[in-house]
Amino acid sequence: MTDNISIPEEIMHRADTLMEDRFARTDRNLPVVATLFELGLSHVTRDLMENPDLYKPQADMSMPKKKFEPVDPIALMRKEIKLPSLPQVFIEMRQVINDPSSSASDLAKVISQDTALSAFLLRMVNSAFYSFPAQIDTISRAVAVIGTNQLSTLAMGTSVMDMFKGLPADIIDLELFWRHSFSCGIIASHLSKTFKQGTPEKCFVAGLLHDIGRPVMMMTLPDRAVAATAISRNKKALMFKAEQIVTGFDHAELGGMLLRKWNLPFSLVNAVLNHHNPAKASKSPEALYVYFANIIAKTMGIGGSGDFFIRNVNNERWEKHGLTPDKLRQLDSELTPILDEAFSILKNMNN
């Protein structure tokens, strides 16, 4: 990716320092970990040159001094937690999907009322994400080509992206958050297509929403969310483990409960709930691919939800599921143009 480009020594040093920090708790003698580091270093070096603004220095955070008592996540969810309202298009789509008398044209009509969502979906279906040979120029045509279930899953997942726009940047950088989430969805979908397991659209949406518990925690338990971030940074701890220290649960559990509350399909709930738990994810392709995609996206340094460190992977687990070092390099070369185009779509969506 950085071949034939003159890279300033300062950029190379910054990229190497960042990656050494990110992989501080891993065993780089493991073939898969060594390959992830190699590919990630290439991506981060390129990104530092092309998007230096995405790599702002982190503010120093002191360790929390008080001990937090556990919170009951079920009680938290039962309360009318102060979240932004679900987008109207999300609510209307769910009503159409749950109505046995509705048709594909009814779904197309609902989506078409939201011009921003329609434009986003048309750009997605005409991108390398699908690689259709002919141009698709209407939502009705997209429904016909992709299918009602697939397009509705895609539309419902992406409609949620506007929910947290009011959060202050000093609490969570939403540009970085959605950049990471979007890339995780793209990678999970690509793994589904490559290994022909699971549903690519469900994998995309599960990846897109896998960290949704993070902004929810920021809104409902801000002091604890900040404390977890401080613990993660100072101790180089995985964020979900730091969250468990200050709340008794983590963003994956909170996100899974939220999706359940929204009555989303169980496959999506399960994927979000278990994206840090590969042992429980192994029987669900969507959950397993989101687990893999999350680590790959973090390795590449693509955005972030505040969780910067890479966990030590089980080399045999990755290779057993086809993610050998050679396959990871092949996937990296396939994903680069898809991700580049996807980020262009995401940037236009947010402008």
Q: Which residues contact 226 (CB under 8 A, 6 or more apart)?
A: 61
pLDDT for the residue 1: 46
Q: With contact defined as beta carbons under 8 Å apart, do 250 and 236 qualify? A: no
Q: What is the topology classification, in CATH, of domain 25-83+172-350?
A: Hypothetical protein af1432 (1.10.3210)
Over range 257-273, report the average pLDDT.
90
Q: With contact defined as beta carbons under 8 Å apart, do 305 and 180 qualify? A: yes
pLDDT for the residue 84: 65
Residue type, 291: Y
- Cα distance from N-terminal residue to C-terminal residue, the chain: 27
Over range 21-42, report the average pLDDT.
94
Over range 85-100, report the average pLDDT.
85
pLDDT reading at 351 higher than 70: no
Region(s) of the chain under CATH 1.10.3210.10: 25-83+172-350
pLDDT reading at 3 higher than 70: no
Q: Is the pTM of this model over 0.85?
A: yes
Alpha-carbon distance of 185 to 289, in angstroms, equals 9
In this prediction, residue 85 has a pLDDT band, given cuts at 50, 70 and 90, of low
Q: Which residues contact 31 (CB under 8 A, 6 or more apart)?
A: 315, 319, 324, 325
Q: With contact defined as beta carbons under 8 Å apart, do 179 and 303 qualify? A: yes
Instruction: Choose the weakest-confidence range: 55-59, 101-105, 127-131, 301-305.
Output: 301-305
Q: With contact defined as beta carbons under 8 Å apart, do 304 and 314 qualify? A: no
Instruction: Choose the weakest-confidence range: 67-76, 159-168, 250-259, 339-348.
Output: 159-168
Rounded to the nearest angstrom, the gap between the alpha carbon of residue 283 and the centroid of all alpha carbons in its chain is 20
pLDDT for the residue 170: 62
Over range 132-143, report the average pLDDT.
91
pLDDT for the residue 171: 64
CA-angle at 205, arms to 253 and 180, nearest 5°? 80
pLDDT for the residue 278: 87
pLDDT for the residue 251: 95
What is the share, in percent, of the chain residues with pLDDT greater than 90?
A: 43
What is the share, in percent, of the chain residues with pLDDT greater than 70?
A: 93
pLDDT reading at 350 higher than 80: no
Lookup: tokens for 288: 């397993």
Alpha-carbon distance of 273 to 254, in angstroms, equals 8
- Label each residue of the chain as H, E or C: CCCCCCCCHHHHHHHHHHHHHHCCCCCCCCHHHHHHHHHHHHHHHHHHHHCHHHCCCCCCCCCCCCCCCCCCHHHHHHCCCCCCCCCHHHHHHHHHHHCCCCCHHHHHHHHHCCHHHHHHHHHHHCCCCCCCCCCCCCHHHHHHHHCHHHHHHHHHHHHHHHCCCCCCCCCCCHHHHHHHHHHHHHHHHHHHHHHCCCCHHHHHHHHHHCCCHHHHHHHHCHHHHHHHHHHHHHHCCCHHHHHHHHHCCCHHHHHHHHHHHCCCCHHHHHHHHCCCCHHHHCCCHHHHHHHHHHHHHHHCCCCCCCCCCCCCCCHHHHHHCCCCHHHHHHHHHHHHHHHHHHHHHHHHHHC
